[in-house]
Amino acid sequence: MRRLVLLTFASLALIAGSVAWGQTYPNRPIRFVVGFSPGGTADVIARAVAAELQRQMGTNIVVDNRPGAGGVIANDIVAKAEPDGYTVLCISSSFVAGVAIRTKLPFDPQKDFAPITLFATGVPNVLVVNPAFPGKSIQDLIALAKNKDKPVTYGSPGIGSVQHFVAELFNLRAGIRLVHVPYKGQAPALNALLGGEIQVVFLQPPGGVDHIKAGKLRALAFAGSSRWSGLPQVPTVAESGVPEFQLKGPFEGLLAPARIPREIVTKIHTGMRKALATPRLRKFFSVSGWEGDGRGPEEFRNFLNEELKRYAEIARAAKIRAE
């Protein structure tokens, strides 16, 4: 009986402490950990969001860049951080891609993190070719790729990048073998395409759209489930005769260490939804080719689990592995 009473008091004390913790949060700066170098897409978005979120939450938010191993270093830092809401992880599609190509990780992507919010989504990739490439459509590209005497090459920002996954899924669905040429970033891959070193690239709009409109690149199809309003004349890959092909566009979200109090997750999510509704952030996403989202913890968890499964299936079928 005495033990039962002690356990009851301990549980009540834990609940009371959690509520009190949530009521005083935040009372010091919050750290946004980003797994990539300053100046990249993930960093630029994280800084724009942090600037607006700190106005909503009344505390400073510091972006902490921890590049390396495709984001694994940053992920591990947050997985092992105190679950107090003062260290959170900004993730992108690279999170699920990086997990899919590694057999050994210092963290569990599903058990060691608490989803907070999916705060932005981007336009799916567009398949572009050099204007000198003879193919004018997806079916032309497939026919040319089947000629083993003249391999068709595609470039990506690197092994395990989202564009690598999109291209390998295209290979699987189309029954062809475009030859992968990895580069160290999207810009070198795009320059190689413009220079005629390779024939194909899957680009993330709005990057490269000016080149398309200027005739320096030819867009053949979108990887998404529907056409994009920015280039409405360009069909989807599925429309072009490759059924069951589609891969969602990029995303950005926030994760916290597991066991973070629910009240703190709610506070961050509420602040983020308010930040996403501001004209400043809405304009930022609009001109960047992104869209604010704001889905909550459970919806984000379901989304993330689906993406982890999807990328793992592609990595397994296409034999994509980290070097």
Quick one: average pLDDT of 82-105? 96
Torsion of CA 262, 264, 267, 269, to 10 degrees: -70
Q: Between helices 93-100 and 297-318, what is the axis angle to 10°?
A: 40
Structure confidence at residue 300 (pLDDT): 98
Quick one: average pLDDT of 63-86? 96
Indicate the SS3 state at residue 43: helix
Structure confidence at residue 287 (pLDDT): 87
Quick one: average pLDDT of 173-198? 95
Give the percent of the chain with pLDDT over 90. 83
Mean pLDDT computed over every residue of the chain = 92
For residues 47 and 14, the model is more confident at 47
Contact 44, 50 (CB under 8 A): no
Quick one: average pLDDT of 140-165? 95
**Domains along the chain?**
26-123+250-318 (3.40.190.150), 126-222 (3.40.190.10)
Q: Work out the burial of residue 278: count CB atoms within 10 Å of its CB; fewer than 13 is exposed, 13-18 middle, 19 or more buried.
A: middle
Indicate the SS3 state at residue 266: helix
Confidence of residue 323 (pLDDT cuts 50, 70, 90): confident
For residues 287 and 202, the model is more confident at 202
* String of DSSP letters for 137-179: SHHHHHHHHT-TTS--EEEESSTT-HHHHHHHHHHHHHT--PE
Give the percent of the chain with pLDDT over 70. 93
Q: What are phi and psi of 236, to 5 degrees?
A: -80, 165
Quick one: average pLDDT of 128-143? 96
**pTM of this structure:** 0.89
Indicate the SS3 state at residue 79: helix
Structure confidence at residue 14 (pLDDT): 47
Structure confidence at residue 12 (pLDDT): 46
- For residue range 211-255, what is the model confidence (pLDDT) as tens digits? 999 999 999 999 999 999 999 999 999 999 998 898 999 999 999
Dist. CA 56–CA 285, nearest whole Å: 18
Structure confidence at residue 240 (pLDDT): 96
Quick one: average pLDDT of 98-127? 96
Structure confidence at residue 207 (pLDDT): 81
| pLDDT at 259 > cutoff 80 | yes
Structure confidence at residue 129 (pLDDT): 97
Confidence of residue 303 (pLDDT cuts 50, 70, 90): very high
Confidence of residue 288 (pLDDT cuts 50, 70, 90): confident
